């Protein structure tokens, strides 16, 4: 006679798994940290998503505030260019994806990352590199991202942003 | 999460499937050399990538992997007589050499040349290290022979085993690149298993149970780095290479041998989990080798006479709820290999990834699937040779290293992550 495990692991039994939606979409905030990433995020934002919203950090457009600076309340802009309240966006996020291009200045990661840390919101860092990226360029970007990203991905293709967000049901 | 068609693409490896063609681009482990121990030894039935085959070693020591069934009436040649440089079907005496060429049809006059018109499908089978490797792709596209370090070091420095896993290959392989499960499922083994315990690296593991992960693409596949805090602001990195389609190396601990795996599809609902241990610069000790034979580390004990694990789904994996409660083992199943296999088999023969909910730490898995699908499509549509075929991609090592905080580990540990003959592994 088959054991319980043997019977339950069969293809026959797989047909009886309960069919229902076992999760609801998570709120995912995707933030571009530099100009090349902004173009990439802009493109990805045009695809249909469940509950993902897309922003650009204002760090590369102006001064970098400190995490306790009141100006961080208006420190994101959405794809249409409207200023958004960073804290409010993070407060409603399940996790935040920060997108940077290797070699670009990813200083915005510290403000966003610290705000996420303070609110215990998971951050994923995604660094897109090209074959021309030097080690020094990558190091500079990593040094901004590492302290704040729970998971860091260094991808060689721009398509990974869409792939990852799809896999995460964004 | 994958869409159904993506899951089908990745999990189906039979002839004419996209992933089947991808696997057929590589030299793959087919049998342990011990399975064909001598000339004219009994043949072995082998199923790989959903094809029923027969492995033979002839009177001259030549190996071959041929269609299992006689071209005459479809009898399994496993019943055949392995004699005088060929396997002879016991039904009507048809005889085949290791290339599958029929060399004798006793009922027909030799002068008729009929035997020459009969040829079974066959694949090359070569011995490198303890393993017999096969290449199941187009003959005119055969890649260079494999150059995995574990198979090239002297025999006294390496040990290889295989075990049947009763699930699709992908869910088994994904366990090998899912570093975040180690802190839970295998937490009982770090300080007790003779092939793991006693390294300084284990203390970093135990002192920092929330590692940060970094996934980096490399030419042959990926590096998956797990980062923990070390002294003086530095980071302790455990770096796992994944080489396409299904090779991984576990980062070393102290002077213990390096562990690694291949996952090779038998059919879409079963695979071979190959496990090896090797040390780049010294012989395995008697105790280490005995521990491997005894099923410690990443190896298993078997149902006698088979490569099926002794703890398997038919006996509920010898589940021990007392050990689970006491924390001796986290899941109640003993042994690292069966802790993984029991859970992966419980997913069902082919995991339904349309229902899964991945999280940030699953990026190694997400990236690996992406690379596999991309390579399978590039091969199918443009004939692009996939990553991992080039022996240069195979000359990798895992590493456990302490690095300054701002350095990309792929560059900073560049030397540690490649094979350096005569140089020990980078380990803590």
**In this predicted model, which residue has the larger pLDDT, B275 or A68?**
B275
Question: How many angstroms separate the CA atoms of B335 and B328, rounded?
Answer: 11
pLDDT of residue A69: 54
Beta strands in B319-420 (DSSP E): 399-403
Q: How confident is the model at residue A65 (pLDDT cuts 50, 70, 90)?
A: low
Tell me what the mean pLDDT of segment A33-48 comes to. Answer: 96
Sole residue written with tokens 């020990």: B424
Query: Does B300 touch chain A if contact means CB atoms closer than 8 Å?
Result: no
Indicate yes or no: CB of A143 within 8 angstroms of CB of B346: no
CA distance B219 to chain A (A): 10
| Residue A39 binned pLDDT confidence (cut-offs 50, 70, 90) | very high
CA distance B175 to chain A (A): 17
Q: Mind telling me how many Å the CA of A12 is from chain B's nearest CA?
A: 9
Task: Say how many CB pairs under 8 Å bridge A and B.
Answer: 113
Residue of B nearest to A19 (CA): B355
Using a CB-CB cut-off of 8 Å, the residues of chain B touching A4 are: 316
Tell me the C-alpha to C-alpha distance, in Å, between residue A5 and each of B95, B252, B314, B320, B329. 43, 33, 7, 14, 19
All residues of chain B having their beta carbon less than 8 Å from the beta carbon of residue A23 are 357
Enter the tokens of residue A48. Answer: 């249909």
Q: Which of A109, A103, A100 lies closest to A127, judged by CA?
A: A100
Interface check for B315 against chain A (CB to CB < 8 A): the answer is: yes
> What is the distance between the alpha carbons of residues B292 and B355, in angstroms, rounded to a whole number?
37
Which is it for the CA torsion B35, B41, B47, B51, positive or negative?
Answer: positive
**Cα-atom radius of gyration of chain B, to the nearest Å?**
23
| Mutation choice for B interface testing from A153, A155, A158, A164 by most B CBs within 10 A | A153
Cβ-based contacts of A9 with chain B (< 8 Å): 166-167, 313, 345-346, 348-349
C-alpha dist (Å) from residue B161 to B108, B269, B277: 44, 20, 9
Mean pLDDT of A20-41: 95
Task: Please tell me which of the candidates B269, B369, B407 has its beta carbon nearest to residue A139.
Answer: B407
* CA atoms lying within 13 Å on the CB side of residue B232: 3
Smallest Cβ–Cβ distance between A167 and the set B1, B342, B411 belongs to B1
- Minimal-distance CA residue of chain A relative to B219: A156
User: What is the per-residue DSSP string for B137-149?
Assistant: S-GGGPPPPP--H
Tell whether B354 lies on the interface with A, counting CB pairs under 8 A.
no
Burial class, B112, CB count within 10 angstroms (exposed 0-12 / middle 13-18 / buried 19+): exposed
d(CA B296, CA A163): 38
Which two tokens mark B168? 């699709």
Mutate to test the interface with A, among B317, B350, B360 (most CBs of A within 10 A): B360
Query: CB–CB of A22 and B357 under 8 A?
Result: yes
Chain length of chain A: 170
Rounded to the nearest 10°, the torsion over CA B332, B337, B338, B340 is 80
Helix spans in B177-210 (H) = 182-185, 200-207
**Residues of chain B positioned with their CB less than 8 A from the CB of A143:** 405-406
Q: Name the residue facing B314 among A3, A8, A159 (closest C-beta).
A: A3
Which of B317, B348, B357 has the CB atom closest to A11's CB atom? B348
Of the candidates A6, A153, A166, the beta carbon closest to that of B215 is on A153
Name every chain A residue with its beta carbon within 8 A of the beta carbon of B363.
Answer: 124, 151, 153, 164
Check B212 against A14: CB less than 8 A apart: no
Which of chain B's residues have a Cβ under 8 Å away from the Cβ of A8? 346
Q: Which residues of chain B have pLDDT under 50?
A: none
- The answer to whether residue B321 neighbours chain A at the CB level (below 8 Å) is no
The helix/strand/coil state of B97 is: coil
Q: How many secondary structure helices (H) and strands (E) does chain A include?
A: 7, 7
Q: Is B113 left (phi over 0), alpha (psi -120 to 50) or beta?
A: left
Measured N-to-C along each axis, helices B363-382 and B169-176 cross at an angle, to the nearest 10 degrees, of: 130
Which tokens is B123 given?
Answer: 């694949």
Dihedral sign of CA atoms B213, B217, B223, B229 in order:
negative
Q: What is the mean pLDDT of residues A45-72?
A: 76
Q: Is the pLDDT of residue A129 over 90?
A: yes
pLDDT-derived band at A131, boundaries 50, 70, 90: confident
Closest CA to B412 of B214, B133, B167, B124: B214
Chain A residues close to B214, C-beta within 8 Å: 151-154
- What pLDDT, on a 0 to 100 scale, did the predictor assign at position B428? 92
Nearest to B314 among A6, A151, A156 (CB): A6
Of B166, B345, B361, the CB nearest to A151: B361
ipTM of this complex: 0.93
pLDDT at B189: 81
Instruction: Say which of B166, B370, B408 has its CB closest to residue A9.
Output: B166
Residue A4, chain B, CB below 8 Å: the answer is: yes
Closest listed residue to residue A151, CA positions, set B210, B2, B175: B210
pLDDT at A70: 52
Residue ranges of alpha helices (H) inside B145-208 are 149-152, 169-176, 182-185, 200-207
Task: State whether residue A151 sits within 8 Å of chain B by CB.
Answer: yes
The pLDDT, as a whole number, for residue B8 is 98
B360 inside 8 A of chain A by CB: yes
Tokens coding B221: 């596949």
B357 and A169: CB-CB below 8 Å? yes
* HEC sequence for A104-163: CCCCHHHHHHHHHHHCCCEEEEEEECCCCCCHHHHHHHHHHHCCCCCEEEEECCCCHHHH
Our CA-based measurement puts residue A134 at a distance from the nearest CA of chain B, in whole angstroms, of 10
A-contacting residues of B 192-251, CB under 8 Å? 212-217
Nearest CA in chain A to B269: A11
Residues above pLDDT 90, as percent of chain A: 66
B-proximal residues of A, 79-98, CB under 8 Å:
95
Min Cα separation B106/chain A (Å)? 45
């Amino acid at each position: 006679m088959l054991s319980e495990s043997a019977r339950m692991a069969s293809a026959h039994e797989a047909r009886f798994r309960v069919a229902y939606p076992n999760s609801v979409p998570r709120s995912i905030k995707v933030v571009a940290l530099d100009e090349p990433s902004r173009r990439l995020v802009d493109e990805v934002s045009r695809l249909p998503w469940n509950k993902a919203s897309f922003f650009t950090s204002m760090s590369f457009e102006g001064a970098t505030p400190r995490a306790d600076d009141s100006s961080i309340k208006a420190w994101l802009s959405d794809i249409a260019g409207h200023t958004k309240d960073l804290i409010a966006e993070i407060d409603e996020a399940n996790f935040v994806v920060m997108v940077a291009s290797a070699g670009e200045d990813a200083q915005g990661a510290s403000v966003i990352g610290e705000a996420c840390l303070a609110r215990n919101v998971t951050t994923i860092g995604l660094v897109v590199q090209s074959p021309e990226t030097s080690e020094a360029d990558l190091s500079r970007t990593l040094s901004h991202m590492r302290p704040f990203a729970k998971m860091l991905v260094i991808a060689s293709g721009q398509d990974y942003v869409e792939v990852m967000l799809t896999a995460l049901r964004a | 999460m994958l869409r159904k068609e993506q899951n089908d693409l990745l999990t189906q490896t039979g002839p004419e499937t996209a992933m089947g063609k991808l696997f057929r681009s590589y030299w793959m482990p087919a049998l342990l050399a011990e399975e064909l121990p001598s000339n004219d030894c009994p043949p072995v039935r082998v199923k790989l990538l959903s094809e029923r085959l027969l492995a033979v070693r002839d009177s001259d020591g030549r190996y071959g992997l041929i269609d299992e069934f006689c071209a005459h009436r479809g009898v399994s040649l496993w019943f055949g007589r392995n004699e005088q440089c060929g396997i002879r079907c016991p039904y009507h005496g048809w005889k085949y050499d290791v290339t599958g060429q029929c060399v004798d049809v006793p009922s027909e006059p030799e002068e008729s040349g009929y035997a020459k018109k009969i040829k079974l499908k066959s694949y090359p089978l070569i011995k490198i290290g303890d393993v017999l490797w096969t290449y199941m792709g187009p003959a005119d596209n055969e890649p260079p022979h494999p150059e995995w370090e574990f198979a090239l070091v002297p025999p006294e420095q390496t040990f290889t085993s295989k075990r049947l896993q009763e699930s699709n290959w992908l869910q088994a392989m994904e366990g090998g690149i899912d570093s975040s499960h180690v802190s839970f499922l295998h937490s009982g083994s770090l300080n007790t298993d003779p092939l793991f315990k006693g390294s300084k690296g284990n203390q970093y593991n135990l002192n920092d149970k929330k590692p940060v992960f970094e996934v980096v693409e490399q030419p042959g596949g990926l590096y998956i780095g797990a980062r923990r805090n070390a002294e003086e602001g530095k980071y302790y990195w455990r770096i796992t290479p994944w080489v396409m389609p299904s090779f991984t190396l576990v980062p070393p601990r102290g002077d213990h041998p390096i562990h690694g795996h291949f996952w090779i599809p038998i059919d879409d609902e079963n695979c071979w989990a190959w496990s090896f241990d090797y040390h780049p610069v010294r012989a395995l000790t008697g105790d280490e080798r005995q521990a491997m034979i005894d099923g410690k580390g990443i190896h298993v004990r078997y149902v006698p006479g088979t490569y099926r694990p002794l703890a398997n789904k038919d006996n509920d994996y010898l589940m021990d709820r007392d050990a689970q409660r006491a924390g001796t083992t986290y899941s109640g199943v003993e042994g690292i290999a069966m802790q993984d296999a029991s859970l992966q088999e419980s997913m069902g023969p082919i995991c339904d990834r349309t229902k899964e909910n991945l999280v940030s730490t699953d990026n190694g898995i997400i990236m690996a699937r992406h690379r596999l699908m991309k390579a399978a499509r590039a091969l199918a549509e443009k004939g692009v040779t996939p990553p991992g075929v080039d022996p240069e991609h195979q000359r990798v090592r895992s590493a456990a290293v302490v690095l300054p905080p701002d350095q990309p580990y792929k560059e900073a540990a560049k030397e540690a992550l490649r094979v350096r003959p005569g140089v020990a592994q980078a380990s803590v």
